[in-house]
Amino acid sequence: MIPLRDTTKSGAFPFVNLTLITINILVFLYEVSLAQNVNNFIFEYGLIPAKVFSFANIDLGERLFPFISSMFIHGGWIHIIGNVLFLYIFGDNVEARMGHFRYLIFYIICGLAAALFQIITNVSSVIPMIGASGAISGVLGAYITFYPKSKILTLVPIFFFIQLIRIPAAIFIFIWFIIQFLSGMGSLGAGQDTGGVAFWAHIGGFVAGLILARYFQKGGFRVVGEKGRYYH
């Protein structure tokens, strides 16, 4: 399923969300410019679990800074396009509900929670963790909390045909979560030198978003339904 847009208007200019999108794109374009040296960049600024808990003589900054820098690094065009698309569709509404500064802090905290959740599944991994997916998963957790009745215009492949379907946000995000969970279960036991998608980061970020969303909103908690109606 590929989301194209949601039907709930944010009602505010999402400059933090757009800034996050811009930073991710600019960092990725910088990666592209590095050509064959991009792996050095990823290993320096990506989050390597084994490095975090290493007993080697590594500065504290080198252990902790990748928790932030890794959120803005991506591994390819599909990776960056997918993350930017999800952030663009869901982030503006969440920012409107939280306010600009709260949204930024919420986004970072969800990214950190996602990284920690992934690390504990394989603390000895030597593969760099990169991408905004964990933080964006937190945004999805907030979106389903605030806007479960919103509709998501979605591209759905059915056999050899592609259908445009409006799916309630609660159903779309629930299906997304089930896919992450099943994929995460399948990834358990992977070796320390095995790469792939960090599904447990998605799960950790999503759970963090669900838990924290109500505490980061402004003006009291309410659920927004289709056409802007409120459901208390």
pLDDT tens, the chain, 232 aa long: 888 989 888 888 999 999 999 999 999 999 999 988 999 999 999 998 888 877 677 777 788 899 999 999 998 999 999 999 999 999 999 999 999 999 999 999 999 999 998 888 888 888 899 999 999 999 999 999 999 999 999 988 877 778 888 999 999 999 999 988 888 777 666 554 555 678 888 999 999 999 999 999 987 666 665 555 433 3
Helix ranges, the chain (H): 15-34, 38-45, 49-52, 60-64, 66-69, 77-98, 100-119, 133-146, 169-187, 199-216
Domain boundaries, the chain: 2-231
Contact 98, 221 (CB under 8 A): no
Cα 65 from Cα 52, distance rounded (Å): 10
What does the pLDDT read at residue 123? 83
User: Hunting for tokens 């969300």 — which residue is that?
Assistant: 17
Cα 164 from Cα 152, distance rounded (Å): 10
What does the pLDDT read at residue 12? 84
User: Hunting for tokens 């969800």 — which residue is that?
Assistant: 110
What does the pLDDT read at residue 230? 37
CATH topology of domain 2-231: Rhomboid-like fold (1.20.1540)
